[in-house]
Chains A and B, each alone.
Chain A
Amino acid sequence: MNALKVLRIGPLASIQDQGRPGQLQQGVSRGGAADLLALAEGAALLRQDMHLAALEMAGIGGLFEATSPMRIALTGAPMQASLDGENLAWNASHQMLAGQKLEIGAARKGVYGYLHLGGGIDSAVQLGARAVHLMSGLGNPVAVGDLLPCGADPGREVGLGLQAEDRFQGGALRIVEGFQSDLFDAEVRARFADTAFKRGGRANRMGVEMVSDGAGFAAAGQLNILSEIILPGDVQMTGDGKPFVLLREAQTTGGYPRIGTVLPCDLSKVAQAQAGVDLQFNWVSLDEGLAIQAKQDALMKALPSTCKPLLRDPALMQDLLSYQLVGGVISAQADPFDTGDIT
């Protein structure tokens, strides 16, 4: 089995994919990667399907050893990365040889970094996905000694890079009104968009706290509403009128009122905001929201065409032999023709 061995790992690292859409009726929340754009970027860099699973690392990475040659890509929150001591470019794909050690450090900005393997991480599929969801009893956090199995990898190409959209420093979040927005006075909704927020101290894969000066944002009689479906991006107000932006791993129903829903394409920005980062909400109409999201979906689809070979200065390369110099050859042991891929 081709696998990546985990020698050291930060807390809360977990295997993630696109999650489990379509199972709300069974109480199964969507879950999946906190930053879906990062998942798409990794897939583009490895020229593979964006539904494959990757390792999500929260705040800090770990130390990994390849048990066989494999391709990797690094995306999401930029982290310090090196292969046997040589620095590796982030937002790029690389080759690992058997026995090589990959070290990933702390996030320089943002929260969630992603390590992708050629062929994806081939862990067990549960309820239709590999995404770990701890609260639902689906999977476990990655632990020291684990072997992350690689799926079959028909690809050969490495050394690609892309310009990642910077969603790691907060900013404006586009939000549409929803079925409970009317529970909030127009004045409260307007003040909500005029308020400068910072990401609060409480945040995880389920939701992110927003803090601000001044009055809270309570709804009329908000403790008495009937529990209702939760959508990723919903901004719920807790009892004291403090907003939480709910992410894809949030529970499927909830009784706190939601003032609106952040667009799916802005959720990466929410998940990737470190504590203290500035954030703000901008109301957009449904039509505006649909247009913004469609544009973002098109950009995501076009990601593969934006991946370009990394530029390297040979004079700065201390160990030329560690780079792949001949396309199609990945190691002395591997036969490039054995998969039928001779491109």
Chain B
Amino acid sequence: MKSKGILTLGWPAVTVARYFAGGLWVTQSALSFPIIRTAGLDGMLVTFADALSEPSNRATLAFSEAVKACAWPGVQEVSTSLASVFLRFDSAALCHAALKDLLLALLETQDWQQAALPPGRRLWRVPTVFGTGLAPQLAEAADAAGMSEAQAVESLGSARVRVLTIGFAPGQPYLGPLGAEWNLPRQTELTPQVPTGALVLAISQFVLFATTAPTGWRHVGQTGFRGFQLGAEDPIALRPGDEMIFTPVSRSDYDRFCLEDSHFGGASREEIPA
């Protein structure tokens, strides 16, 4: 790649340096956030940052709620990724320029990075076995983070993380952000298969697998939590903005929880006061 591209765009290389510096956003990029860009023929993307941080995800969740509340005619779908809000719309009913104007006006109504999170969020406490044969990569991850296994369990088991987005597969949450010490790169080799309920870690995030799948993230914990259950009253349990704590439990307690609660593996749920 030509260095010209990197300099003019100022994107990825800066992102990584910035991330290691503590995860907080410094506006030295050529791009000035938030930015509105087209996505395909019938989509618009409002992006709050090019790196994951708590404020950028907060802005994303709050702005998404605000867009939904506006209920602009022609908007067919609103969804969020880690740091962007995506809108799909009927361009015959709402042209690109008009939608962009609406979005710009809404963006200017407040500082979205400081916005209150949407109401109706829940806190989930999920019994989790860290390490052992159930989650064989805890030791490796702890080592990469410069900790003992006990320290890693203490750190990961006490972290209160947010559902940053749901994606890749139905009901599968990306959770975080974890501290910078957990900014571990993805593995170069894929783990051929992790089971449903697997808690995997990379780049300062967890993913809680809602299905059985291969992954490049490290399998550090195992839960009995099923994020996607067809036939359940609410097939997809989690919503972006929910929070989770993965409480360390023994293997025998884990087995008992899974036996008693085949859906959520003994997880508890409480409303987060608005």
User: Given A25, A179, A229, A252, which contacts B38 in the complex, CB threshold below 8 Å?
Assistant: A179
Q: Determine if B240 is an interface residue (Cβ-Cβ < 8 Å).
A: yes
A302 proximal to B (CB < 8 A): no
Are the C-beta atoms of A229 and B39 separated by less than 8 Å? yes
Contacts of A261 in B (CB 8 A): 39-41
Q: Which residues of A contact B16 (CB under 8 A)?
A: 224
Whether B170 lies near A136 (C-beta < 8 A) is yes
Contact of B91 among A26, A127, A221, A290 (CB under 8 A): A290
Q: Which residue of B lies closest to A265 (CB)?
A: B41
Cα(A21)–Cα(B169), bound, Å: 14
Pick the contact of B41 from A27, A135, A137, A293 — CB < 8 Å?
A293
Verify B165–A226 contact, CB threshold 8 A.
no
Q: Name A26's contact: one of B4, B83, B170 (CB within 8 Å).
A: B170
Nearest A-chain residue to B230, judged by Cβ: A126
Partner pick for B235 among A22, A25, A127, A219, CB 8 A cutoff: A127
CA distance A170 to B230 in the complex (A): 38
A221-B11, A222-B12 as given contacts; A22 in contact with B39, CB under 8 Å: no
Number of A-B residue pairs having CB atoms within 8 Å of each other in the complex: 147
Task: Tell me whether A135 and B211 are in contact (CB under 8 A).
Answer: yes
A contact residues around B13 at 8 Å (CB): 220-221, 224
Q: Which residue of B6, B41, B52, B235 contacts A289 across the interface (Cβ within 8 Å)?
A: B41
Cβ 8 A contact of B168, one of A185, A234, A251: A251
The reply to whether B169 and A136 contact each other, CB–CB distance below 8 Å, is yes
Contact B15 A227 (CB under 8 A): no
**A277 on the interface (CB 8 Å rule)?**
no
Nearest chain B residue, comparing its CB with the CB of A182: B9
Question: Which secondary structure characterizes the binding site on chain B?
Answer: mixed
Set of chain B residues within 8 Å of A232, measured between Cβ atoms:
40
In the bound complex, residues from chain A placing their C-beta under 8 Å from that of B2 are 185
Q: How far is the CB of A52 from chain B (nearest CB, A)?
A: 21
Q: How large is the interface on B (under 10, 10 to 19, 20 to 34, 35 or more residues)?
A: 35 or more
A244 CB to nearest chain B CB (Å)? 16
- Binary contact readout A21-32 vs B (1 if CB under 8 angstroms, 0 otherwise): 111111110000
Contact present for A24 and B77 (CB under 8 Å): yes
Q: Does residue A330 face the partner (Cβ distance < 8 Å to B)?
A: no
Is A179 within 8 A of B168, CB to CB? no
Given A253-B167, A290-B91, A179 contacting B41 (CB threshold 8 A): no
CB of B41 within 8 A of CB of A263, answer yes
Q: Which of A218, A252, A263 contacts B1 (CB under 8 A)?
A: A218
User: How far is the CB of B8 from the nearest CB of chain A, in Å?
Assistant: 9
Minimal Cβ-Cβ distance residue in B for A186: B5
Whether, in the assembled complex, B79 has its beta carbon less than 8 Å from a beta carbon of chain A, the answer is yes
Give the Cβ gap from A322 to chain B, nearest Cβ, in Å: 42
Please choose the segment from B42-50, B117-125, B130-138 that sits at the chain A interface, where 4 or more of its residues have CB less than 8 A away: B42-50
The CA-CA distance from A26 to B50 in the complex, in Å, is 22
Is A152 part of the contact surface with B, judged by Cβ < 8 Å? no
B47 and A179 contacting across the interface, CB-CB below 8 Å:
yes
Q: A125-172: which have CB < 8 Å to B?
A: 126-127, 135-138
Asked whether, in the complex, the Cβ of B1 is within 8 Å of the Cβ of A251, the reply is no
Give the CA-CA distance A294 to B93 in the complex, in Å.
13
**Residues 161-181 of B contacting A (Cβ, < 8 Å):** 165-172, 174
A264 part of interface (Cβ distance < 8 Å): yes
B142 within 8 A of A: no
**Contact partner, A229, options B41, B76, B84, B210, Cβ 8 Å:** B84
On whether the beta carbons of A176 and B41 are closer than 8 Å, the reply is yes
Pairwise interchain contact B11-A24, C-beta atoms closer than 8 A: no
A127: nearest chain-B partner, CB-CB: B235
Return the contact of A252 from the options B11, B84, B168 (Cβ within 8 A).
B168
CA distance A253 to B45 in the complex (A): 13
Cβ of A28 and Cβ of B40 under 8 Å apart? no
Is A127 within 8 A of B170, CB to CB? yes
Give the distance in Å from the alpha carbon of A180 to the alpha carbon of B137 in the complex: 34
Whether B170 contacts A28 by the Cβ 8 Å rule is yes
Asked if B40 and A27 sit within 8 Å, CB to CB, the answer is no
Q: In the complex, what's the smallest C-beta–C-beta distance from A223 to chain B, in angstroms?
A: 8
Given contacts A27-B169, A176-B41, A252-B168, whether A226 and B83 have CB atoms under 8 Å apart is: yes
Inter-chain CA distance A178–B167, complex, in Å, is: 20
Query: Are A27 and B82 interface neighbours, CB within 8 A?
Result: no
A186-229 near B? 1/0 per residue, CB < 8 Å:
00000000000000000000000000000000111111111111
A21 — which chain B residues lie within 8 A by C-beta? Answer: 76-77, 88
A264 and B42 alpha carbons, distance in the complex (Å): 10
Does chain A have a CB within 8 A of B225?
A: no
B12 touches A225 (CB 8 A): yes
* Interface residue B96 (Cβ < 8 Å from any Cβ of A): yes
Asked if A286 meets B169 with Cβ closer than 8 Å, knowing A179-B47, A185-B2, the reply is no
Cβ-based interface call for B37 (8 A)? yes
Q: Are A137 and B15 in contact (CB under 8 A)?
A: no
Task: Using CB atoms, name the residue of chain B closest to A286.
Answer: B38
Q: Could you give 25 example pairs across A and B, Cβ below 8 Å? A: A23-B170, A24-B167, A25-B77, A25-B78, A26-B166, A26-B171, A127-B235, A135-B169, A136-B170, A137-B170, A137-B230, A176-B38, A184-B5, A220-B9, A228-B81, A228-B82, A229-B45, A229-B79, A229-B81, A229-B84, A231-B40, A233-B40, A234-B40, A254-B168, A264-B41
Which 6 A-B pairs give the minimum distances between C-beta atoms?
A221-B12, A253-B167, A224-B12, A179-B37, A25-B79, A24-B79
- Other A-B contacts than A26-B171, A127-B170, 11 sampled, CB-CB below 8 A, are A23-B170, A26-B170, A27-B167, A135-B169, A218-B1, A225-B50, A226-B52, A228-B82, A229-B84, A231-B39, A232-B40
